[in-house]
Amino acid sequence: MNRYFFSALCVLLLQACTSETIFQQKYKLDHHSWKTEQVLVFNWDIKDTTLLFDIELEIDHDADFRFQNQYIKAKTKFPDSTTKEQILSLELFDDTGRPYGNCVSSTCKTPILLQSRIKFQKSGTYQLQLSQNGREPESPGIHAVQLKILKSKV
């Protein structure tokens, strides 16, 4: 009896600690390159404004990407049509050149937490537009960009 109780408790604890993905979309970039004029648009709906969420980007890039980071322009459109624009630095490598992500062969997947444990203030459709804002008009070595909206872990 105690054995079954312990097993059931373990399953419940694991489920409580796992994030639930409510939105996920991935853009694979042509020729593994992100051009300045290429705007990636993500739209998602929020119904419950009482829950906490994490917003995460995952960047698939060359293990020998030329720069330590990738600057992007992020424009958020809220359900009431207001917008907010900001420039973000996506850190892909540490100061010694070691990648932050997990690399297999010549490609790395780097998860970047944009916001943690946030509450969306209004229900409705949100939009995030991302464009590369790097030193050059094209960022060769960026394979894909994925956005995930997850319910925050307990």
Which CATH code fits 20-151? 2.60.120
Can you tell me the distance from the alpha carbon of 37 to that of 9, in angstroms, rounded to the nearest whole number?
51
Can you tell me the distance from the alpha carbon of 70 to that of 135, in angstroms, rounded to the nearest whole number?
9
- pLDDT of 84-122, one tens digit each? 999 999 999 999 999 999 999 999 999 999 999 999 999
Mean pLDDT for the chain overall:
90
- Looking at residue 112, its pLDDT comes to 98
- pLDDT of 3-40, one tens digit each? 443 333 333 344 444 569 999 999 999 999 999 999 99
Can you tell me the distance from the alpha carbon of 44 to that of 118, in angstroms, rounded to the nearest whole number?
15
- Looking at residue 19, its pLDDT comes to 66
Please state the pTM of the whole predicted model: 0.85
Asked if residue 116 lies in contact with residue 54, where contact means CB atoms within 8 angstroms, the answer is yes
- Looking at residue 10, its pLDDT comes to 39
Asked if residue 40 lies in contact with residue 131, where contact means CB atoms within 8 angstroms, the answer is yes
- pLDDT of 125-153, one tens digit each? 999 999 999 989 999 999 999 999 999 98
- Looking at residue 105, its pLDDT comes to 93
pLDDT > 90 in the chain, percent = 86
pLDDT band with cut points at 50, 70 and 90 for residue 78: very high
Domain ranges of the chain: 20-151
pLDDT band with cut points at 50, 70 and 90 for residue 76: very high
- Looking at residue 4, its pLDDT comes to 40
- Looking at residue 54, its pLDDT comes to 98
